[in-house]
Chain A
Amino acid sequence: MNAVTIIADKDLQWKESLTTESVFVRRSLIAAAFLYLTLFLFIPLAAVFAEALKGGILAYVGSFLNEDALAAIRLTLLVASVVVPLNALFGVAAAWVIAKFDFVGKQILITLIDMPLAVSPVISGLIYVLLFGLQGWFGPWLADHDIKILFALPGIVLATIFVTVPFVVRELIPLMQSQGREEEEAAITLGASGWQMFTRVTLPNIKWSLLYGVILCNARAMGEFGAVSVVSGHIRGLTNTMPLHVEILYNEYNAVSAFAVASLLTLLAVVTLAVKAIVERKAHFPTIVADPISNVQTGSIR
């Protein structure tokens, strides 16, 4: 080791010591963080699986292998398979228009997209009852034409779409804004069609954020409780989604099955977070905000 590097190392250590805390402070802060996370994160996470496996592995598996549970899983997957593509399509379109164009009323549009995040889920359900209930605006007309919306699949889908509208678009806007317009403009100037520009330039640029938005949207779509509870009608094996099925089992003194289905949803949440971590590493963007509210704002000003 020559003298220069030793001096450089010393310099670094000295600098390091200036901007860090004493061991005691450091350890206490880490301990405080751990204590808080244990109370509010690790114990709940462990409890879900502990409660679910209380009755043994057979009871655990048995909780899924019955008609009602399978129907609930099926309905949840079906709802997500309708909701997520629609919101992804909307997310791309809305992010395109917001990030790449300057137009009158943009801020109002962004606020409108945000609204579902701020609205209580109970209200999200209530508004559809007011619209499509038999006593609501369109209810009588729908009944005359034998169209079921409330207490059927369409109602559940609509309420879920409402709740998850912001997720994809919120992931895309900051990214698309920071990427600017030059690449797309170049593609168009060089004679690419709109579709070619989208598939060859835009889509590859946004694919990781899009994926994360889709995953987040999916997790929320499968987990929504309040809004769906208002519009579902709770018909066993027909309009019960997984979160509602959890509640029903819980109310039937069937805590083990309730937690078993809950553990499935928890697993989904954990997988979502794992994929998110991978996606973030792939996309090389730092951990941004879980809730996308801040993304747009910081993004739009960037």
Chain B
Amino acid sequence: MSFILKQPSVLPGFALTLGFTLFYLGVIVLIPLSGLFVKTSTLPWEQFWGITTTPRAIASYQLTFGASFVGAIINGLFGSIIAWVLVRYQFPGRSAIDALVDLPFALPTAVSGITLAAIYSSNGWIGRFLEPLGIKVAFTPLGILVALTFIGLPFVVRTVQPVLQDLDKEVEEAAATLGANRWQTFRAVIVPELWPALLTGIAMAFARSVGEYGSVIFIAGNMPLKSEITPLLIMTKLEQYDYAGATALGVVMLVVSFVLALAINLLQWWSSTRHMNQ
């Protein structure tokens, strides 16, 4: 297998580990995923187009991508604040909060789902205060937004935080010495540094939200055209024995995920080359 090696190496185990890696990925990831495409390719193009562009499907894309996007933006804002506060300020409970930020990532999605539904429903801890204001969260598109914001929380914090930590304070000092006030320094010095990491974090939160299922179904109203996300529509199709429909929608989701993954990789490449040029 040495022909694919770009440089000869004295280190052992290349063939063994590469072989095992390829075999494992092939069995676990590649074959199953290609199954999805093969299954879809049995559909004529018109039918595929028809299934994936019904008003119900389009409404579900709008909701899934729309809510994921808004959730990611909210997390972009508050995630940056949290990262800033965690890196720059000292306050009681800082390290505990630092550890807990990852909770939405470590918590099983079903647990997040029933918990959020319990809190934000009209007799729940938070829902009961929102209800008199005329705000209904659980079982509305707003509930989906809450769930997607929850699961996206760690991503922006965790991408912005290390960049903030590495940020050289001397540049800020220099800016201040040159007469810039704090706001100007922030805009001209800090924001450009954070920007790539922030975008990466937002994109990652977005990508994670788009595919989310477990936590959303408990809190969404699941109304076709109104509060039905695409993963639920796939599940619904499955339950109607409509495999063609389920796989067609699955392929749409998969292609979007792939494009997102690619976008994230590009963003990170951009971010790290910027970093290296400094």
- A contacts, CB < 8 Å to B: 15, 18-22, 25-26, 29-30, 32-33, 36-37, 39-41, 43-45, 47-48, 51, 90, 93-94, 96-97, 100-105, 109, 111-123, 126-131, 135-137, 158, 161-162, 165, 181, 184-185, 188-189, 194, 197-198, 216, 219-220, 222-226, 229-230, 242-244, 246-247, 250, 255, 258-259, 262, 265-266, 269-270, 272-274, 276-277, 286-291, 293-294, 297-298, 301-302
Complex interface residues of chain B between 216 and 267 (CB less than 8 A to chain A): 218, 230-231, 234-235, 238, 243, 246-247, 250, 253-254, 257-258, 260-262, 264-265
CB distance A216 to B108 under 8 Å?
no
Q: Tell whether A126 pairs with B36 under 8 Å between CB atoms, given A44-B119, A290-B154.
A: yes
Q: Does B63 contact A (CB under 8 A)?
A: no
Which of A33, A97, A273 touches B85 (beta carbons < 8 Å)?
A33
Chain A residues whose C-beta falls within 8 Å of the C-beta of B110 in the assembled complex: 223, 225, 243-244, 246-247, 262
**Main DSSP-derived SS at the A contact region:** helix
Closest A residue, CB atoms, query B124 = A47
**Main DSSP-derived SS at the B contact region:** helix
CB distance B165 to A286 under 8 Å?
yes
Taken together as a complex, chains A and B put the C-alpha atoms of A226 and B113 apart, in Å, by: 12
Chain A residues whose C-beta falls within 8 Å of the C-beta of B271 in the assembled complex: 298
Chain A residues whose C-beta falls within 8 Å of the C-beta of B17 in the assembled complex: 93-94, 96-97
Chain B residues whose C-beta falls within 8 Å of the C-beta of A127 in the assembled complex: 32-33, 35-36
- B contacts, CB < 8 Å to A: 4-7, 9-14, 16-18, 20-22, 24-25, 28-33, 35-36, 39, 78, 81-82, 84-86, 88-89, 91, 95, 97-112, 114-116, 118-119, 124-126, 149-150, 153-155, 158-159, 161-162, 165, 169, 172-173, 176-177, 182, 185, 200, 204, 207-208, 210-214, 218, 230-231, 234-235, 238, 243, 246-247, 250, 253-254, 257-258, 260-262, 264-265, 268-269, 271-273, 276
